[in-house]
Amino acid sequence: MLGDLNRTIDKIFKALTLFRAIFTRGGIVMDQNIKRFKKGAKYVNIASAVTRDHLTSIDHISDDYSNLKCVKFIPASGAATRMFEDLYRYLEDKIDTESINKFFDELEYITFYEEIKDFIKKEKIDKNKTSGRLKIIDYILNTMNYGNLPKAVIKMNSYKGYSTTPIEEHIFEGERYLCPSSLNFHFTISNNHEELFNQYIETVLKGREDIKISYSFQKPKTDTLAVDLDNNPFLLEDGSILYRPGGHGALIENLNDIDGNIIFIKNIDNVCHRNYIEDTVNSKKKLASIGYAFKEKIDGYIKALLSDNYDIAEIKEFISKDLNLNFKGEMKKDKALFFLNRPLRVCGVVKNQGEPGGGPFLVDNGEYTDLQICEKSEIDLNNKKQWKILSASEFFNPVDLVCFVKDHKGEKFNLLEYVNEERYFISQKTYKGKDIKALEHPGLWNGAMDNWNTLFVEVPLNTFNPVKKVNDLLRPCRRSVSEMEEVYWAEVAASNE
C-alpha cells in the first residue's frame, strides 16, 4: 500500500513539474516539438541527383558584385573535441590503431608541431613508446587545451617558421574577393569562447583598420526540446526540462541579422593553404559573378511583371531552364512573382568523393520541382528508387555558398519566412548516460533555405579542405611548397644513409 502511494505521489509530482515547465517555457512550442518527435522526420522526395545539365556556368568572371556590400559569414562555434577523438580514445585504451600510428609517425609534420617540440625535447620523450605517446597527447589536449578550444584557433596550416589558424586564413582569403574598401567578416561563436575570441581578434587586427569583424551567438530562443525514448520531455534533476542547442539551422536567425547585400558562407575548418589559394579565390569570384548576373535578370523580370510590361513565355523559360524550377501548373503573373521574388543562393559543388554530408538534388515538392541541398538522413534509404538516385549522385555539397539577400527594391528579405519547418532533424543523443532524442532545426543550407532560388556551380576539388580528424592536419595541402620540398630531400638523404 505504502509503495503504491509513493508511486502515485511521484507521478503527481512529475506531472505538476511538467505542467510548470510547459508554462514557463512556452506550451504551444513544446506541444509542436513533441508532435514532431512522434511524427518523426519527414523525408524529401528526390526526383534525381543533380547532373551537369543542372549546373550553371559563366564565360566571364567580373568584380561588379564587389560594388555591393559583401560580408563573409563563418559558422565557428564548434569546439575541436570531436576532431581529437582518436587521441582521447588512446588515453582510454592505449591501443595503437592505424590512425594513432600515422599521427606519431608523421608528428614532425603536424601543423602545430612548433608548439609541442620544445616539450618533447625537454622531457626526452620517445614518441614510439606508449608512455611517451600518452605524455604528448596529454600535453596537446590538456596543457595546450586543444581538446576544449574552438576549431577557429587551432593551428591548421603551416608555413616556413610559423603556422596559422582558420581565423587568419579566412581573413587572408576574404581579402582577395570581398570589396577592398569594406572587408566585413562575421563569425558565429559560443558564449564560453567569447573572451578568447576577442583576445585573438585583437592580435590579428593590429594595424588593420580596413578589416571589420563582428560576431554573434546562437540565440537561446532557438534551443529545442529533448525527450526520452517514449517522446516525453526529458526532466532534469531539479524538475526543469532539458533544452539543447537547435543545430546549425538555428543560425538562419544570425544570418537574418547580417547587414549586407551579398553574404559568402563557408565553414570554419574549410581553409585553404595560401600556396594553393588561387583556385579558391577564383571560384568565389565565379559564384558571386554568376549570382550578380542572375540577380540583375531576376530583378528586371520582377519590375517588368509589376509594371505589366512582360513576356510570360520568356519568364517561364528563365524560371524553368535557368533556375531549374519546374512548375507543374500554368505559369501566370502571380506565380511567376512568387518564384522570382525570394532570396538567391549560388552553391559551389565538388565531385563526390564519398565524404559524409549532403548533396545537390532535384526535389519534387508536389506542385513543382526545384534544386535543393539534402542530407542523407532526409532521404528514405528503404525506398529502392530513392536509394538508387542517392547512390548515383555525382556531386557533393562542400558548404560553399554566396547568398543574395535583398529584393528588387534593395530591401532585406526576412529570411525566416523562407524556412521549411518540416525539414527538421531528429538525432539520438545521451545525457549523463541516459538515452535521449534531440530535435534540430532545418539545416542552414537544407530546410532553412528551402524556399530560396538555387544555382549549383562546380568548383575545383582542391577548394574543399575540411578538417574533421586530427590526421587531416597531416595532409600535404596543409604545408607550404618549400616545406614539402625540405621533407622530400630529408627523406632522400635518409634513404641514402
Per residue in 446-486, pLDDT (tens digit) is 999 999 999 999 999 999 999 999 999 999 889 876 655 55
pLDDT of residue 490: 52
Nearest of 470, 479, 494 to residue 99 by alpha carbon: 470
Residue 301 has pLDDT above 80, yes or no: yes
457 forms bridges with which residues in the sheet?
Answer: 348
Nearest of 299, 263, 254, 291 to residue 407 by alpha carbon: 299
What is the Cα–Cα distance from 125 to 152, expressed in whole angstroms? 29
Block residue for cell numbers 567580373: 62
Cell numbers for 300 = 528586371
32 Cβ contact list (under 8 Å, min separation 6): none
Residue 21 has pLDDT above 80, yes or no: no
48 forms bridges with which residues in the sheet?
Answer: 362
- Cβ–Cβ < 8 Å for 361, 50: yes
Q: How confident is the model at residue 10 (pLDDT cuts 50, 70, 90)?
A: low
Residue 379 has pLDDT above 90, yes or no: yes
pLDDT of residue 486: 56
Considering the chain, what is the average pLDDT of its residues? 90
What is the Cα–Cα distance from 138 to 145, expressed in whole angstroms? 9
Report the amino acid identity of residue 439. Answer: L
pLDDT digits (tens, 9 = 90+) for 209-238: 899 999 999 998 899 889 999 989 998 888
pLDDT of residue 94: 96
What is the percent of the chain where pLDDT is above 90?
72
Average pLDDT over every residue of 121-147: 96
What is the percent of the chain where pLDDT is above 70?
91
What is the length of the chain? Answer: 497
Average pLDDT over every residue of 35-40: 88
Nearest of 277, 256, 288 to residue 400 by alpha carbon: 288
pLDDT digits (tens, 9 = 90+) for 113-123: 999 999 999 99
Q: Which residues of 362-379 are buried (b: 16+ CB within 10 A; e: fewer)?
A: bbbbeebbbbbbbbeebb
pLDDT of residue 405: 98
19-28, 57-66, 158-167, 416-425: least confidently modelled range: 19-28
- Cβ–Cβ < 8 Å for 452, 365: no
Residue 53, exposed/middle/buried by CB under 10 A (0-12, 13-18, 19+)? Answer: exposed
pLDDT of residue 497: 53
Top pLDDT among 19 and 136 is at 136
Report the amino acid identity of residue 279. Answer: D
Residue 248 has pLDDT above 90, yes or no: no
Nearest of 291, 259, 300, 248 to residue 425 by alpha carbon: 248
What is the Cα–Cα distance from 144 to 344, expressed in whole angstroms? 43
248 Cβ contact list (under 8 Å, min separation 6): 75, 443, 444
pLDDT digits (tens, 9 = 90+) for 43-55: 999 999 999 999 9
Residue 13 has pLDDT above 50, yes or no: no
What is the bridge-based pairing of β-strands 326-327 and 368-374?
antiparallel
pLDDT of residue 483: 59
pLDDT digits (tens, 9 = 90+) for 347-359: 999 999 877 678 9
pLDDT of residue 488: 47
Other Cβ atoms closer than 10 A to 117: 12
Q: What is the pTM of this model?
A: 0.89
pLDDT of residue 6: 53
